[in-house]
Structure 1
Amino acid sequence: MDTNNIKNTLIKRLTFLRKAYESNLKLVVDTFDDEAIHDLRVSLRRIQALVSYIDEICNENISLNLLKDIKIRIKKFNKLRDTQVQIQFLIKQIKKFTEIVDLLVFLKKSEKKQIKKLKKALNLPDFDLSGDFFFYQTKLQQTSCLNLIQMDDIIKNAQNSLNELKTFIAMVEKGKYETYHKTRIKLKKFRYIIETIEEIILSPNEKLKKVQNLQTILGEIQDFTVLLSLIDNFCQRENIEVSKFADFVEFVQQKREEKEQEFWNNIEILEFWDNFLMNY
């Protein structure tokens, strides 16, 4: 693919992501559905990844403060998304572990407060970044940097991200869940880079889905870790003995260990990407 097509492909992707963001934001405002919130955060992360990618590959700060503004918006939804994930999991387990009822009630109250707070934020005139994204796209079309990007630059950037990811995987220790979380951050970056350039390098969609699945597994490990910490904090807050949740805690720990094993069982997908990029 020549440089002009590379530029057009990146701008085309930005247009697609910008429209997805606008659609998802409207859905969140209308429904505040947990799936809509998830989709909005994903659309923001994908735009963030694309903007960051262009800054990195152009070696200049074209985006100015846009990345900071996106990060602030994502952060506003993080706590609510975590709460809703925990609520969904507890609801599925409540028949088996009736002792978690009080914890579920606590989370539902917390969710209500967070939604009320976020609704106020969403109504502020400076929350919506649609205009900022459109302005950025207009500026991007005029910059000379994208006209200079070569395929070698594209491949080298992806390889560097994959190598960084492999370094973090090598430092993962069983039972040290912060190492899985750090690895997930690097995996997420690699996945979004490949998504950004998938039309340019003609990446196999099924192989990209396997990377996404690996990220999901690491996300579930983190969700279980957050839930266990939440139980400890809830017990301290309510002056409850942690032993009340002993059976449920053991169940969650077991599920987390299963996800650890699932991660290692699926790690070979990165070998494909190593070879794919090396032989491009």
Structure 2
Amino acid sequence: MLKDQTLSHSLINSWQKYKKQVHLSRDKISNRHIHDLRISTRKLEAILNLVNALHPTKRSRYLISLIKKVRKDLGPLRDIQVEAEMLKKHNNETPNLKNDSAFIRFIAKQKRRKKKEANRHLKDISLKNEKLSVDKVVKKIEQIELQKGQKKIQSLLVQEIKSSMLKFNQVLTKMSAGSANEVHQVRIIAKKLRYRSYFLNATNGLGHFDLVGLKGIQNIAGQIQNDSILLNSLDQFLAEKSPDKHPNILKLRKRVVLHQTKLINKSFKEFRTLKWQN
């Protein structure tokens, strides 16, 4: 295994990419920067979870909790960004939405508030303290890599990812009513499994299960979650206003519900469990 494919080097590399995205987001809170920052937290967390599977430490668990907090803190802003993209698409289908000034003001107010909160959270991130913890975890992993050897470590990580895949299959199989909340939980597990698997595939060049199929599950689940985000805002707006005065919002809500229901009952349920190979 090449040096740049080791777990310790992957941790350093993931940290550097995360750090870069934090700085970019602080300079400019754009849709792309926030999206890329949240993805970088997923990738860094995936590597840290593999580190934990190999050798659990307080520092690695501490870093995981910090990374999760960053992603959670930026979640509301990312939701409003996703919502804006969806509304833009729906505006093309229902031009009269643009004429609902009360709804436009409601969305604009939400965006200003969540952007302000995200700015505050970005400033609170202590990269210096996080880097100290990362360096200590890297040093410990490098020692383990020398002691165990890469072949043994790879074998342990393969078993860890296989266990994660089986857990994913179990959750997918146990889905009962197929609610949006259940689908969202499957999506979270799918993301964790996919990012861990990227590291393993890079180290041995083997595909142990269908990553394309997993990404397909994640994409459909993402569309279902996006519908939930928009429905949440629509319901909040309608709860504050008189629904009968906003017929276009009611029509939009009905359309989104039908779209989400179709995705859950048809598209999502067509997916099958993953099979382990090699």
Compute the TM-score of the two structures, normalised by the length of structure 2.
Answer: 0.84
For residues 138-165 of structure 1, give each alpha carbon's deviation from its aligned partner in whole angstroms, at most 9, with x where no partner exists.
4422444344353331221111111111
Aligned to 1:37: 34
Alpha-carbon distance in 2 for matches of 1:167, 1:205: 18
Aligned partner of 2:135 in structure 1 is: 137
Q: Provide the residue aligned with 2:276 in structure 1.
A: 275
Aligned pairs, how many?
268
What aligned pairs does 1:93-172 form with structure 2 within 5 A after superposition?
93-97=90-94, 98-99=96-97, 101=100, 102-124=102-124, 127-129=125-127, 131-133=129-131, 135-143=133-141, 144-146=143-145, 147-148=147-148, 149-172=152-175
In structure 1, distance between residues paired with 2:207 and 2:201: 8
Letter aligned with residue 214 of structure 2? V
What is the identity, as a one-letter code, of the residue corresponding to 1:253? V
CA contact (8 A) 1:14 1:137 kept: no
- Could you tell me how far apart the structure 1 residues matched to 2:209 and 2:108 are? 37
Q: Is 1:82 matched up with 2:79?
A: yes
Deviation of 1:70 (Å) = 1.4
Structure 2 unmatched ranges of 5 or more: none
Aligned to 2:250: 246
Corresponding residue SS for 2:176? coil
**Do the aligned partners of residues 137 and 216 (structure 1) sit closer, same or farther apart at CA in structure 2, a change above 3 Å counting?**
farther
Query: Secondary structure of the equivalent of 1:275?
Result: coil
- 2:22–2:122 contact (8 Å) kept in structure 1: no
* Aligned equivalent of 2:268, options 263, 266, 276: 263
Q: How does 1:43-54 map to 2 (within 5 A)?
A: 43-54=40-51
- For residue 263 of structure 1, what is the amino acid of its counterpart? F
Amino acid aligned to 2:200 = I
Distance in 2 separating the partners of 1:64 and 1:96: 47
The aligned amino acid for 1:197 is L
Q: Which deviates further from its counterpart, 64-73 or 201-210?
A: 201-210
**TM-score normalised by L of structure 1:** 0.83
Which AA in structure 2 matches 1:132? Answer: E
| Equivalent residue, structure 2, for 1:199 | 202
Conserved 8 A contact 1:55-1:62: no
Cα pair 2:21 2:36 within 8 Å, conserved: yes
User: Which ranges of structure 1 fall in alignment gaps of 5 or more residues?
Assistant: none
User: What CA distance in whole angstroms lies between the structure 2 residues aligned with 1:204 and 1:151?
Assistant: 14
What RMSD in Å do the two structures reach over aligned CA positions? 2.8
**In structure 1, C-alpha distance between the alignment counterparts of 2:186 and 2:61, rounded to whole Å:** 28
**Residue in structure 1 matched with residue 239 of structure 2 by the alignment:** 236
Kindly provide the amino acid, as one letter, of the partner of residue 55 in structure 1: N
State percent identity of aligned pairs: 20
